[in-house]
Amino acid sequence: MENQNNVTEFVFMGLWENKQLELLFFLLFLLCYLAVLMGNFIILLTITCSHLIEQPMYYFLCHLSLMDLCYTSTVVPRLIRDLGAARKNISYNNCMAQLFTAHLLAGVEILILVSMALDRYVAIVKPLHYMVLMNRRRCNMLVFMVWGLGFWHSVALLLMVLSLPFCGPNQIDHYICDVKPLLKLVCKDIHVVSILVIANSGMVVVVIFLVLVASYIVILWNLRTYSSIGRRKALSTCSSHIMVVVLFSVPCIYTYVLPAGSENKDKEVSVFYTVIAPMLNPLIYTLRNMEMKIAMGKVWSKMAHSEFKSGG
pTM for the predicted model, two decimal places: 0.88
* Close Cβ partners of 245 (under 8 Å, ≥ 6 residues apart): 113, 117, 209, 212
The verdict on residue 54 lying in a domain is: yes
pLDDT of the residue at 147? 96
3-state helix, strand, coil in the chain (%, to 5): 80, 5, 20
How many residues are there in the chain? 312
The verdict on residue 73 lying in a domain is: yes
The stretches in the chain having pLDDT less than 50 are: 1-2
Task: Compute φ and ψ for 98, nearest 5 degrees.
Answer: -65, -40
The verdict on residue 306 lying in a domain is: no
Domain with residue 30: its CATH number is 1.20.1070.10
Q: Is the peptide bond before 127 cis (omega within 30 degrees of 0)?
A: no
Q: Report the distance separating Cα 255 and Cα 271, nearest Å.
A: 11
Q: Report the distance separating Cα 222 and Cα 88, nearest Å.
A: 52
Q: Report the distance separating Cα 297 and Cα 302, nearest Å.
A: 8
Q: Domain limits at 28?
A: 9-297
For 221-255, give the secondary structure using H, E and C: HHHHHCCHHHHHHHHHHHHHHHHHHHHHHHHHHHH
The verdict on residue 188 lying in a domain is: yes
The verdict on residue 309 lying in a domain is: no
Half-sphere exposure of 264 (CA within 13 A, CB side): 16
Spell out where 151-238 has E strands. Answer: 171-172
The verdict on residue 140 lying in a domain is: yes
Q: 211-226 b/e with 16+ CB inside 10 Å = b?
A: ebeebbeebbeebeee
Contact between 82 and 14 under an 8 Å Cβ cutoff? The reply is: yes
The DSSP bridge pattern shows strands 171-172 and 89-91 to be: unpaired
Q: Which of 175, 208, 210, 197 is nearest to 257 (CA)?
A: 197
Q: Report the distance separating Cα 91 and Cα 8, nearest Å.
A: 6
Q: Report the distance separating Cα 235 and Cα 193, nearest Å.
A: 42
Task: Compute φ and ψ for 12, nearest 5 degrees.
Answer: -75, 135
**Neighbour order of strands in the sheet with 89-91:** 89-91, 9-12, 171-172
The verdict on residue 305 lying in a domain is: no
pLDDT of the residue at 261? 59
The verdict on residue 311 lying in a domain is: no
Angle, CA of 104, 265 and 168, to the nearest 5°: 70
Write the DSSP assignment of 98-153 as a string of letters. Answer: HHHHHHHHHHHHHHHHHHHHHHHHHHHHSGGGHHHHT-HHHHHHHHHHHHHHHHHH
pLDDT of the residue at 2? 46
Q: Report the distance separating Cα 168 and Cα 171, nearest Å.
A: 8
The tally of domains found in the chain comes to 1
